[in-house]
Amino acid sequence: MNDLAEAVRIVLATDVLIAILASAVYGLVVGSLPGLSATMATALLVPVTFWLSPIAAIATIITASAMAIFSGDIPGALLRIPGTPASAAYTDEAYAMTRKGQAELALGAGLWFSAIGGIVGTLSLMLMAPLLAEMALSFSSYEYFWLALLGLMCATLVARSSPIKAIASMLLGLLIACIGMENPAGTPRFTFGVTDLLGGIEPIPALVGVFAVSEVMRAMASAEPPKLPPRRFGSILANQWLLTKRYQWQMWRGNIVGIIIGVLPGAGADMAAWVSYAMSKKFSRTPELFGTGHPEGLVEAGASNNASLASGWVPSLLFGIPGDTITAIAIGVLYMKGLNPGPTLFTERASSMYALYIIFILANIIMIPLGIVMIRLASVVLRAPRSAVMPVILLLCAVGAFAIGNNPFSVLMVGVFGVLGFVMERQGFPVAALVLGIVMGNMVEQNFVTSLIKSDGDVWPFFERPVSSVLAAFTIGALLWPLGVWIWNRLKSTTGEIVR
């Protein structure tokens, strides 16, 4: 109890509170700029943390990354420019809501359920960190392989087109993921001697291209839609309360899935958002509404996304294993400030640990008022004429892509993927499935190949290890399910004919 009181005293210090507020505003602004990711927002903060006290330094990282991840949804919903692979899962849904005139509702849902997900994720971190960490450490490459395969299977679920076109898109994504030398053999593939292709295709330029640039191209090729009648949108929070009551079950499911997936290093928020969106559609009473601007999937995926961010800190704090690029940066800052990750952080430095928990919760709470201001400001974009907005989007796409590595090649990639996305959507191929293939491709291959190297080419360990066998049964069951349904229907109809 003394530790808790001490933690409250630490957090309420003036410098910590100023650090939280300033980094919250900073995170919101950087995250909302298309193409500037939460990782970049965090990395740019590191030199500033040199001059801060340990807790203030960590507070800036925690707050800025949480804010940047939420505000990354803003360009996704308003302009169809997703900031992260995670938000790509529901970009189309949010953008469809914007076109129906419900931008504030979509963004409000992102804000509200992100905050709830963040708080629930933090509670899981507080109550179950050792248990969750045990789980994370029981995952070897065999288990990751099945998990990545399950993630890939979401491709057919999230798409609104025919399953065959979704699978074709996903396979194209897998082919793109083959490019470069970041594969288990370390051998360049499909690089055609181009140095810039050695590192492979980065997901962010591909995302920005297929979603945003293709949207600009479509706008150029079609007439301007009639203006939505200007209307005053009601209270953002009141509407969210209605959504919370209506989709309470989905919200909790999203939170739990997010916590479980988020705790696995390397799987993280991306997979959590995709799996939750797919689950939401699979178990929905109205799956046909998904993709038309229906908030149900947004609720579940948004909650899952942020819950996974919080639980992703578990392996980072306990074992120094980063869950994603943001926690990798945070681990560096923790060491620099003498708060070395490890079990001793939870026992000997308990007051610092509690202080971190309080900051997590504080950050998620102030996200709500600051986020509402941000949404109101950002939705001005919707009232601007299309001919003024589209060139700016194109410019932002180019600047954002360049900012990732100061490499003009990324800008070229944005253009290439823009054309690809435009052509694919014209022909009814879902671009979200392509993105899923690009994001998951490396994970599937890496874990499959390293597993086979470890087992000397034997496939039996994929089914032998306890967790692995459960995941294998899940995956194979999900694969064979449609076939089973088809045979069942055939049997039923043939027996029906005999009776008649």
139 binds another protein (CB under 8 A): yes
Which one of 14, 47, 388, 466 is in contact with another protein (CB under 8 A)?
47
**Contact with another protein (CB under 8 A) among 22, 53, 101, 182:** 182
Paired tokens of 295? 């908030």
Applying CB under 8 A, does 186 fall inside the site for another protein?
Answer: yes
State the nearest-atom distance from the C-beta of 62 to another protein, in Å.
15
Stretch that binds another protein, among 28-36, 181-189, 209-217, 282-290 (CB under 8 A): 181-189
Question: What is the 3-state composition of the chain as percent helix, strand, coil, each rounded to the nearest 5?
Answer: 80, 0, 20
Q: How near is the Cβ of 75 to another protein at its closest, in Å?
A: 20
CA angle 351, 357, 361 (to 5 degrees): 145
Number of residues that bind another protein (CB under 8 A): 63
Question: Residue for token digits 């055609």?
Answer: 192
Task: Provide the token pair at 130.
Answer: 């050792």
Q: Which is nearer to another protein, 136 or 154 (CB)?
A: 136
CB contact set of 175 (below 8 Å; sequence gap of 6+): 437
Calpha distance 270→323 (Å, rounded): 11
- CB closer to another protein, 14 vs 406: 406
Judged by CB under 8 A, the residue of 118, 121, 266, 268 near another protein is 266
CA distances from 313 to 126, 266, 269 (A): 11, 12, 12
Is 458 a binding residue for another protein by CB under 8 A? The answer is no
Q: What SS3 state is found at 81?
A: coil
CA 323/CA 262 separation, integer angstroms: 8
Closest separation in Å from C-beta 71 to another protein: 19
CA distance 44 to 64: 11
Q: 189 forms bridges with which residues in the sheet?
A: 180
Residue 61 in contact with another protein, rule: CB under 8 A:
no
Binding another protein (rule: CB under 8 A), the pick from 453, 473, 480, 491 is 453
83 binds another protein (CB under 8 A): no
Are the C-beta atoms of residues 411 and 150 closer than 8 Å to each other? Answer: no
Sites of contact with another protein (CB under 8 A): 39-40, 42-44, 46-47, 50, 136-142, 180-182, 184-188, 195-199, 265-266, 315, 318-322, 325, 328-329, 331-332, 335-338, 340-344, 404-407, 409-410, 442, 446, 449-450, 453-454, 456
